[in-house]
């Protein structure tokens, strides 16, 4: 069973700072990590929202999302399956997103998409494997869901652009870095890689006070 994220972000922050002096500099400027699981997560609704929002600006996606939800008396897989294609297209779904939404509904009804109660019984690998079976849902979408909604404590989305940029600036002096190198380095952050990811994203915030994020040259370690 997957353990939840600690409610007190100081726990992850203290442990990460103790094992990685580079990340400690970021933590010192940012403060505690506020990541906590959402109180209740309906995977069907969360993934439907992700599908609708893909490659759209926020306001446009929000309007389409609201129109789709408004057509269902209860926002669930069975209700979506009962809607005609024409209605969903009129609400703003593209042909590809319509196919993805239909596939999501079908995989929810056949239990490929686990219920809220069953999620905690799956390993991270099993959860990713099952959710990415849905058309249009890839590892990045699942990683974001796991970190920000499900409260999985040890997720490292190494292919994310922001993660790669932050890691490059903090550990490589701006040189390019491959996801595999980030994953190797991130082993030292286990089992708090979700919090470490959050700190990497926050390190890119231009509003943060500037400070030294690197240890002295003699102690700095290469990720690979």
Which DSSP state fits 156? -
* SS3 assignment, position 143: helix
Sign of CA dihedral 223, 23, 156, 137: negative
Cβ of 197: how many Cβ atoms within 10 Å? Answer: 27
Active-site residue numbers? 160
Q: What angle do CA 81, 69, 48 make, to 5 degrees?
A: 65
Cβ of 80: how many Cβ atoms within 10 Å? Answer: 22
Query: Do the Cβ atoms of 146 and 132 come closer than 8 Å?
Result: no
Query: Do the Cβ atoms of 147 and 194 come closer than 8 Å?
Result: yes
CA 171 vs. chain centroid, Å, equals: 22
State the residue for tokens 């690197």.
214
């Amino acid at each position: 069973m997957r353990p939840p994220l600690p409610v007190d972000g100081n726990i992850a922050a203290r442990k990460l700072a103790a094992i990685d002096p580079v990340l400690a500099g970021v933590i010192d400027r940012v403060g505690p990590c506020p990541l906590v699981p959402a109180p209740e997560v309906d995977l069907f609704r969360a993934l439907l929202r992700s599908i609708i929002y893909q490659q759209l600006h926020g306001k446009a996606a929000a309007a389409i999302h609201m129109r789709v939800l408004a057509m269902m008396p209860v926002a669930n897989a069975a209700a979506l399956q009962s809607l005609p294609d024409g209605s969903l297209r009129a609400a703003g779904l593209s042909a590809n997103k319509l196919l993805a939404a239909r596939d999501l509904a079908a995989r929810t009804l056949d239990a490929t998409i686990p219920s809220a109660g069953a999620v905690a019984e799956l390993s991270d690998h099993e959860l990713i494997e099952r959710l990415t079976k849905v058309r249009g849902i890839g590892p990045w979408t699942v990683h974001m869901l796991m970190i920000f909604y499900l409260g999985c404590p040890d997720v490292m989305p190494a292919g994310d652009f922001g993660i790669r940029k932050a890691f490059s600036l903090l550990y490589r002096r701006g040189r390019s870095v491959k996801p595999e190198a980030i994953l190797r380095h991130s082993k030292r952050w286990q089992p708090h890689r979700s919090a470490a990811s959050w700190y990497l994203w926050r390190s890119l915030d231009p509003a943060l006070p500037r400070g030294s994020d690197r240890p002295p040259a003699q102690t700095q370690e290469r990720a690979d």
